[in-house]
Amino acid sequence: MRDEQDFGGSAPLCCAPVTAGRLDEDAAAQLAALFKALADPVRVRLVSIIAGTPGGEICACDLPGLLDRSQPTISHHLTVLVRAGLIDREQRGKWAWFRLRREGFAAIRAALGDGVAADGLAPTG
């Protein structure tokens, strides 16, 4: 069983690059939801742990010990990441297994684009 993204419907994963022009309200809200899902150190660590596992997936049963957090806390953070479309959840018997959704991170990369120079100024062409 795979949990679907929760961006308020069947909208595609996100947006044109933010540097390519003005985002409309819906696109900005979708992008903000992705950023909000990653705006917590525990969730960033979860993504890092999942990405670094052999085979690219991990059992929820292994996470409390790796993060020194309670199971309910870990579960909450995993749910946020699943709803944002950044990880997938698959139930295998008693335990849930998690893996990254590459398309979720591709959407973030695409939305950030490459239009911002290292000095923080958009290139002039």
Asked if 83 and 101 touch (Cβ cutoff 8 Å), the reply is no
On the question of pLDDT at 9 being above 70, the answer is no
Residues 6+ apart with CB under 8 A from 70: 64
Is the CATH number of domain 41-112 1.10.10.10?
A: yes
Comparing 22 with 55, the larger pLDDT belongs to 55
**pTM check: above 0.85:** no
